[in-house]
């Protein structure tokens, strides 16, 4: 469906019951593909349910290869993406969701944290393996409570590795907002992606770890965090 709000028009994928708390779900560098939709469906079914919305930040483009995904991410208007996120949050609040959180993965994780700094309507953030550049958003100025998840073996240096996670934690401490930063032993980048297609794609990138226990723990922490700050339907 198309979202028309606050002067912006873009396609969105929406799942879950109306009037439930909302969660904006942000894509990886691949685009709005099967895996981010899997995450949105899962989120919509957590607890008493959420209304999950994925804004199409790439305007219809979906990458199949790493080089193509990197090209799309490098070409992204990050400030424009923040505007899309803000419009998505406002749309959910105007259409029955009393509170709205933001979550995201990889590129979307970085944008989720940035939204917790730059979008005052955001009530809570859960970010997976991504941190924003200092040019985009200074996490020490976060306004929303932020929970973040990283794999111990993540090799995306300065973006999602342990050093980036520790740096984020220091900035969040300085911000004064409630926060949690979790690092998962033995896990590499994109460890939440567990569908057969996603596992095949990860192996093609040299990411061979599979850890259902870490996935379950991360979803449990997600559920507790969003339940605490967004409430339930």
CATH number of the structural domain spanning residue 136: 3.40.50.1820
Has residue 232 been placed in a domain?
A: no
Question: What is the 3-class SS of the chain, one letter each residue?
Answer: CEEEECCEEEEEEEECCCCCCEEEEECECCECCHHHHHHHHHHHCCCCCCEEEEECCCCCCCCCCHHHHHHHHHCCCHHHHHHHHHHHHHHHHHCCCCCEEEEEECHHHHHHHHHHHHCCCCCEEEEECCCCCCCCCCHHHCCCCEEEEEECCCCCCCCCCHHHHHHHHHHHHHHCCCEEEEEECCCCCCCCCCCHHHHHHHHHCCCCCCCHHHHHHHHHHHHHHHHHHHCCC
pLDDT given at position 50: 98
Has residue 181 been placed in a domain?
A: yes
Has residue 161 been placed in a domain?
A: yes
111 within 8 A of 104, measured Cβ to Cβ = yes
Separation between Cα atoms, residue 106 and residue 128, nearest integer Å: 6
Has residue 231 been placed in a domain?
A: no
What range does the domain containing 137 cover? 2-226
Has residue 233 been placed in a domain?
A: no
93 within 8 A of 117, measured Cβ to Cβ = no
> If you average pLDDT over every residue of the chain, what do you get?
95
pLDDT given at position 130: 98
Q: Would strands 22-26 and 100-105 be described as parallel, antiparallel, or unpaired? A: parallel
Has residue 20 been placed in a domain?
A: yes
pTM: 0.96
pLDDT given at position 3: 59
pLDDT given at position 10: 75
pLDDT given at position 68: 97
**Number of domains within the chain:** 1
Which ranges of the chain have pLDDT less than 50? none
21 within 8 A of 30, measured Cβ to Cβ = no
């Amino acid at each position: 469906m198309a979202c028309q709000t606050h002067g912006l028009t873009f396609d969105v994928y929406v799942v879950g019951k109306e009037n439930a708390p909302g969660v904006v779900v942000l894509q990886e560098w691949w685009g709005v593909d099967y895996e981010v939709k899997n995450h949105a469906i899962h989120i919509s079914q957590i607890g008493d349910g959420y209304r999950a919305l994925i804004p199409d930040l790439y305007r219809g483009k979906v990458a199949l290869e790493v080089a193509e995904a990197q090209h799309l991410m490098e070409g992204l208007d990050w400030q424009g993406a923040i505007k899309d996120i803000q419009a998505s949050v406002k749309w959910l609040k105007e259409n029955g969701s009393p509170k709205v959180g933001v979550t995201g993965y990889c590129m979307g994780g970085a944008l989720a944290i940035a939204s917790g700094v730059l979008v005052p309507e955001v009530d809570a953030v859960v970010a997976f393996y991504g941190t924003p550049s200092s040019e985009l958003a200074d996490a020490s100025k976060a306004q929303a409570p932020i929970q973040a998840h990283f794999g111990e073996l993540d090799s995306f240096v300065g973006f999602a590795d342990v050093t980036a996670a520790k740096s984020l934690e220091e900035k969040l401490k300085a911000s004064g907002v409630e926060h949690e930063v979790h690092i998962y032993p033995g896990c590499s980048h994109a460890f939440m992606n567990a569908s057969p297609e996603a596992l095949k794609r990860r192996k093609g990138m040299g990411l061979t770890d599979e850890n259902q226990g870490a996935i379950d723990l991360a979803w449990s922490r997600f559920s507790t965090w969003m339940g605490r700050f967004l409430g339930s339907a």
